[in-house]
Amino acid sequence: MQKKNTYISLYVLIPLIYTGISMIGLIMAYELFKHQEKAGELQSIYLFYLMAAIAFITVMISLIIVRFFLQPFIKFISKTEKMPVISQTQLKKQKNVTSDLSQMDEIFNNVTNILSNIEAKELFPEIVGSSAAIRHIFTQIIKVAATDSTVLICGESGTGKELIASSIYQHSMRSGKPFIKINCVAIPEGLLESELFGHEKGAFTGAIEQKKGKFEIADGGTVFLDEIGDMPLNTQAKLLRVLQEKEFERVGGIKPIKVNIRFIAATNKNLPEMIKQGKFREDLYFRLNVFPINIPALRDRKEDLILLANHFLKSQGSQASISNATLQKIISYHWPGNVRELKNVMEHAAILCEDNIIEPKNLPASMIALKDFSPVSSQDTDIPLDDKLNLMEREIIIETLRKTGGVQVKAANMLGINQRSLWHRIKKLQIDVNTIKNLH
């Protein structure tokens, strides 16, 4: 006969044990008081025996709890500490460990981070990144993918918005059904409505036959509207109807066509600001912004820089490695083109490098000329205040010069300082204005 195992939660078992200890103490006290009534007075020796007995029982039960319930945790900690991936981290954090409990907390946090990275690689193999910011995006993808809610992906150009949209589709219930990608800025305004809604024969010059639009083809699946901020206002009004009523007419048609589509939109523009300027419909914005996902810029997740750089080298089939000096350049650079720019930079450097070592001289001219005042970012706290202020000032001046195409008079006006003061700052911070001009 097979033995049946019964599972009892520690949240139930441990309170029961300590409740039992209390009950034993009460019983012993009751017996002692009964003896007191018979003897007429309580002898102090009895009280001492009572306290000693309760203490002994409590200690023994505590040892049993440690032996049978905490021993598996202790063994787990011992084995985990010997793993290279944990031991290296533990050495760095050894100073923070003040007790066994804090040691356990450190190791469990490390294990959680490692498992989170493994999960991310398993679920999102096409997305490279392990920073807290990108893991938060993964969590959002998993939550929204299981629904049919409309998603609005916002982020700078080159941050990977299309990759996020594809991941939402792949993890959704509509995976395997049509996934239609539409770049709203790539299609001429006069042809956009025909592309989206289709057209009837003779609807306009050149419409020699009926044509199904992207929305009709995507019925049952998902439509990704990239660069939604560049969609013309007329088309925005018609798109709003599709979102609200789930129907539309072909260009030149009168018969409504019902569709079942899940929409994902993306933009690198500030849509609320465009609404104020009358360039984007407010009602459409609210229809699209059901579940917003904001993709962080590469400069805001610098933990992923080296991981991405090595990934791009490997994907290009390059055996090159990155020198420490180059790593400092990569980390301190502001990456206005984000992940797309990093990919191009690594391809450029891999072609130029010698002996499979990428040195700073192999980087594009724009990165070489903008000499780093410090190999750390302005976000670092482990550098002197003066150095941090100089670095922040340098970043502000470079960004302003980029906006003005390297014209120092305009830059000085934007910064609110005179041209001579700007010239001295440029010289002190080693900013190459000519290279900035050549970028425009």
For the chain, what are the domain ranges? 10-81, 84-93+103-122, 132-296, 299-369, 385-438
Q: Which of 295, 296, 215 is nearest to 251 (CA)?
A: 215
The listed CATH number (3.30.70.20, 2.40.70.10, 3.40.605.10, 3.40.50.300) that belongs to domain 132-296? 3.40.50.300
Question: Of the candidates 222, 90, 197, 43, which has an alpha carbon nearest to the alpha carbon of residue 147?
Answer: 222
pLDDT at 329: 85
Average confidence (pLDDT) over 196-216: 84
Dihedral angle at the C-alpha atoms of 80, 85, 91, 93, nearest 10 degrees? -90
The CATH architecture that domain 299-369 belongs to is Orthogonal Bundle (1.10)
Confidence class for position 183, pLDDT limits 50, 70, 90: very high
> Smallest Cα–Cα separation from 222: which of 192, 258, 255, 265?
265
Dihedral of CA 54/56/61/66: which sign?
A: positive
Most confident of the following: 47-61, 187-201, 282-296: 282-296
Q: What angle do CA 19, 24, 25 make, to 5 degrees?
A: 95
Percent of residues, the chain, with pLDDT higher than 90? 36
Q: Is 382's pLDDT higher than 70?
A: no
Task: Compute CA distances 92 → 6, 130, 398, whole Å.
Answer: 42, 19, 36
Residue 389 neighbours by CB under 8 Å, 6+ apart: none
Taking 70 as the threshold, does the pLDDT of residue 156 lie above it? yes
Amino acid at 409: V
DSSP code, position 230: G
Give the mean pLDDT of 75-94: 55
385-438: same fold as 299-369? no
- 30/417: higher pLDDT: 417
Is pLDDT of 421 > 50?
Answer: yes
CA angle 427-432-437, nearest 5°? 130
Q: What is the pLDDT of residues 313-354, one digit of tens each?
A: 999 899 999 988 888 888 888 898 999 999 999 999 999 999
Other beta carbons less than 10 A from residue 114's beta carbon: 16
- The pLDDT value given to residue 380: 47
Residue 29 confidence (pLDDT): 66
Q: Are 168 and 138 in contact (CB under 8 A)?
A: no
State the Cα–Cα distance between residues 29 and 44, nearest whole angstrom.
Answer: 13
How far is the C-alpha of 192 from the C-alpha of 119, rounded, in Å?
Answer: 40
| pTM of the full structure | 0.64
Q: Does residue 378 have a pLDDT over 50?
A: no
Q: Would you say 175 and 354 are in contact if contact means Cβ atoms under 8 Å apart? A: no
Helix axes 419-428, 385-403, angle to 10 degrees: 120
**According to the model, what pLDDT value does residue 88 have?**
45
413, 400 Cβ separation under 8 angstroms: no
Alpha helices in 125-209 (DSSP H): 132-145, 161-170, 189-197
Q: Is the pLDDT of residue 373 over 60?
A: no
Contacts of 209 (CB under 8 A, 6+ apart): 201
State the Cα–Cα distance between residues 255 and 262, nearest whole angstrom: 22
Q: In this structure, which topology does domain 385-438 adopt according to CATH?
A: Arc Repressor Mutant, subunit A (1.10.10)
pLDDT at position 414: 82
Is the pLDDT at 241 greater than 90, yes or no? Answer: yes
Q: What is the DSSP string of 307-349?
A: HHHHHHHHHTT---EE-HHHHHHHHHS--TTHHHHHHHHHHHH
Of residues 165 and 43, more confidence is placed in 165
Please name the amino acid found at residue 179. Answer: F
3-state secondary structure of 25: helix
The angle, 0 to 180 degrees and rounded to 10, between the axes of the packed helices 100-123 and 84-93 is 130
Percent residues over pLDDT 70 in the chain: 68
The pLDDT of 22-33, averaged and rounded, is 67
pLDDT score for 375: 41
pLDDT at 28 over 90: no
Q: How far is residue 189's CA from residue 197's CA, in Å, rounded to a whole number?
A: 13
3-state secondary structure of 367: helix
According to DSSP H, which parts of 171-225 are helical?
189-197, 214-217
pLDDT (0 to 100) of residue 205: 75
The pLDDT of residue 347 is: 94
> 324, 412, 333: which is closest to 373 by C-alpha?
333
